[in-house]
Amino acid sequence: MYKILLADDEYLEREALKIIISNQVKKAQVIGQACSGKEAVEISERLNPDMILMDIKMPEMNGLEAAEIIRNKDENTIIIILSAYDEFQYAQKAIRVRAHDYLLKPVRPDKIVELVEKYINNKEGDFINDKVQDLLNSIKNNYYKKSKDVLKQIINHFSKIYNRNNIEYIRMLANDIAYKMVYNLNQIDLNNTNISENLNYKQSLSYAFDVCDIGDCLLKLLDEIFNEIINNKQLYKSDDLNCALNYIEKNFKNNLTLNQLSKHVNLSSTYLSKLFKQEMNVNFIKYINLRRIEEAKEILKNTKTCINDIAFDLGYNEPNYFCRVFKKIEGVTPTQYRNNLK
């Protein structure tokens, strides 16, 4: 939710702005109100708003002075200056304190809505662009788990902004991300120039009718990409640990053994065990359990899948053993963990 602070010494002005934003901007929330510049600075430090709508004429400290203090402490806060005075000197000062916009009162409600939504969309665009770049870098560096974590953050963001009217927009973003993932894969020397032809993500996404389906398509594509990367061990050069971690990420839900892993990376099980303990600060078995419980927590949080099915899906032959491992790591049983989330 986009956080907005209102700063105006007129109570009715603040309430009018709050009603406009609350009723007409779904993704924004007024998190605080200030009746002076000094109070605006204090509340901004405490609540860290994304945007401040700031009147110029306020007691103790005017809006321009407050804006300058806030801007010097945080470059990212959007500051909109409001003024009842159509004077060039105020506009000049607003520019000097690096305010993003300068509006003359009375401001039409539709102008407020348009302005707030513009900055919300800009912020969402920046978030997506940053995360996609992080995803592409992770794929390029052959980091399977990190790639998956970043992609899940993107999908989670899609869930937050989703409504019935913007599914085509989200599908368009997903198509663009998928294209970049495949293009990025083609820049890696896999000795297979036709690899992108085998990743038919476009047809899958065209049949995705909600965010859950779109997320599943992107995660499936990422798995297929790393299947290709994992099968080309020459990519890892001397990075034996990353090669091992990627193979674990692909197989941790199966009954993977240290011997199987050591054969994949062409290292002795003794050396690999020592390397794992040294670099990861846990042994191989504990890492597998930690990874499985991390996955279990995500399933418990986002689905209604029964505990027994979660245990079997994660490679545990006995649900009771899965529950004991979960409680040892998390301090509560899977059922208690799910109930606590509620």
Residue 112 lies in a domain: no
Residue 78 lies in a domain: yes
Residue 113 lies in a domain: no
Residue ending a domain, among 179, 207, 236, is: 236
103 and 132 both lie in a single domain? no
Scan for tokens 């989200």, then name that residue.
170
According to the model, what pLDDT value does residue 205 have? 82
Residue ending a domain, among 73, 107, 141, is: 107
Burial pattern 118-134, b for ≥16 Cβ within 10 A else e, equals ebbeebbeeebeebbeb
137 and 76 both lie in a single domain? no
Residue 116 lies in a domain: no
In total, the chain counts a number of residues equal to 342
Residue 114 lies in a domain: no
According to the model, what pLDDT value does residue 197 have? 54
Q: Which pTM does this prediction carry?
A: 0.72
Residue 115 lies in a domain: no
228 and 243 both lie in a single domain? no
277 and 258 both lie in a single domain? yes
224 and 331 both lie in a single domain? no
List CB contacts of 119: < 8 A, sequence separation 6 or more: 2, 50, 51, 78, 100
229 and 247 both lie in a single domain? no
244 and 219 both lie in a single domain? no
Question: Nearest 5°: phi and psi at 208?
Answer: -90, 120
Q: Report CA dihedral (97, 101, 107, 113) to the nearest 10 degrees.
A: -130
According to the model, what pLDDT value does residue 76 have? 80
pLDDT digits (tens, 9 = 90+) for 228-280: 888 877 677 668 899 999 999 999 999 899 999 999 989 999 999 999 899 99
pLDDT at 132 over 90: yes
99 and 131 both lie in a single domain? no
Number of structural domains, the chain?
A: 3
* CATH number of the CATH domain containing 277: 1.10.10.60
Mean pLDDT across the stretch 153-162? 84
Residue ending a domain, among 220, 236, 252, is: 236
How far is residue 90's CA from residue 245's CA, in Å, rounded to a whole number? 59
* CATH number of the CATH domain containing 46: 3.40.50.2300
Q: What is the extent of the structural domain holding 226? A: 121-236
98 and 125 both lie in a single domain? no
Residue 38 lies in a domain: yes
Q: Which residue has the higher pLDDT, 125 or 32?
A: 32
Strand 2-7, strand 28-34: pairing: parallel
204 and 264 both lie in a single domain? no
Strand 101-104, strand 2-7: pairing: unpaired
Confidence of residue 327 (pLDDT cuts 50, 70, 90): very high
Amino acid at 326: F
Residue 21 lies in a domain: yes
Mean pLDDT across the stretch 295-303? 93
272 and 254 both lie in a single domain? yes
250 and 265 both lie in a single domain? yes
How far is residue 176's CA from residue 318's CA, in Å, rounded to a whole number? 42
Instruction: Please check whether residue 82 is in contact with residue 54, taking contact to mean a CB–CB distance below 8 angstroms.
Output: yes
- CA dist 281 to 31, 41, 145, 253, 277, Å? 42, 44, 17, 21, 5
